[in-house]
Structure 1
Amino acid sequence: MKSCNPKENICIALQFFTRRFQICLLVALFLPLAAHSQVLTDTYSTGIGVRLGNTPGITVKKFITERSAVEGILHVFREPNYDGFVVTGMYEWHVQAFQINRLNWYFGAGLHAGAYQLRSDHKIISDSEPDSNGTLYGADAIIGLEYKLASAPLTFGIDFKPSLTIPSNRLNELNGAANIRWVF
């Protein structure tokens, strides 16, 4: 990653979160290998993993009751013109799907916030483009299906997560994703 002028706070934050994202991704991928001795049940308390799709990231889910959970997602992005990160917090409800043990529908809503920076090789060519640095925030919804393996401390899921980001004032992300989590 290019070096930054110390006064460029967003660039420094992007470097910080990109490094943390890479470390968390490695931990999330290799931690399940060390978890073979865990007692296996149909439910779990906490899950840590990766979200794969057009907005990949690190995901952490924590159940606060038997059927409700909070989920956090960190997404670092590199687009043709911008680099940035987004942190999303969701509240989710889980209900059994198709009367199959360990298979659950989940649905919920939440908020996101982040920052972006214009890439140094991009020139702004119109007034309709965002500023070179900035923040973003908005609302999210989610609906998905998650399966917890009986033979390993893992869950697999798929979801659809539309979001509305301000200042654009439009439905600008219709995200579909798959996820895998190590659960304990």
Structure 2
Amino acid sequence: MKKLFLLAIAIIGFSTLSNAQDISKNALGLRLGDSDGFGAEVSYQRALGDNNRLEVDLGWRDGKNYDGFKLAGLYQWVWNIDGGFNWYAGVGGGLGSFSVDNPNNGNDFTDTFVFAAGDIGIEYNFDIPLLISLDFRPEIGFGDELYDNNDLDFDIALGIRYQF
């Protein structure tokens, strides 16, 4: 009976280990979403272990009356749902700067800000080196010109990344 019990434990343990999450060492692509007016972001992910990674995103915008950039860094934990489907959650923060020139009334302003962020999402890892994700990133910003108070943002984005 003991041998049967130990054999069952070994089989369950082996099947759990063989289904463990294997995330790509590197992934580079775009994160397309709201990004608080910063549009598309260049996104890089670096595996730090079997089920955690670091994501760094850089978004920028340059227009006739608006310039800005935003840099975000997040530590993420990744869990396998089934097959190529994973879900992930993370925490992090970043910094940014923007400048608005209003030629109509002369109310020009510039602000540099820092923010704290959370992240939760779902992703699909294709058999080819392509990763598609959809995530939700609440952010709270701290700066002088952020609507005269702390700015709370809810960012939703689609990510498309090449894995290598």
What range describes the TM-score normalised by the shorter chain of this pair? 0.7 to 0.9
Task: Give the corresponding residue for 1:36.
Answer: none
Task: Describe the superposition over 1:146-165 as per-residue Cα deviations: whole angstroms up to 9, x where unpaired.
Answer: 11101x11000000001001
Contact 1:146–1:156 at 8 Å: present in 2 too? yes
Distance 2:48 2:57 in 1: 17
Map 1:93-172 → 2, pairs under 5 A: 93-97=77-81, 100-119=82-101, 121=103, 123-125=105-107, 132-150=109-127, 152-167=128-143, 168=146, 169-172=149-152
Contact 2:142–2:151 at 8 Å: present in 1 too? no
Consecutive unaligned residues in structure 2, runs of 5 or more = 1-21
Length-normalised TM-score, structure 1: 0.67
Consecutive unaligned residues in structure 1, runs of 5 or more = 1-41, 126-130
Contact 1:162–1:171 at 8 Å: present in 2 too? no
Which is richer in strand?
2
SS in 2 for 1:89: strand
Map 1:68-79 → 2, pairs under 5 A: 68-77=52-61
Distance 2:31 2:104 in 1: 29
In structure 2, give the amino acid aligned to 1:85. F
Q: 1:138 to 1:124 in 2, by over 3 A?
A: farther
Task: Determine what percentage of the aligned residue pairs are the same residue.
Answer: 28
In structure 2, give the amino acid aligned to 1:111. G
Contact 1:81–1:122 at 8 Å: present in 2 too? no
Task: Describe the superposition over 1:112-152 as per-residue Cα deviations: whole angstroms up to 9, x where unpaired.
Answer: 10111122535355xxxxx72231111011000011101x1
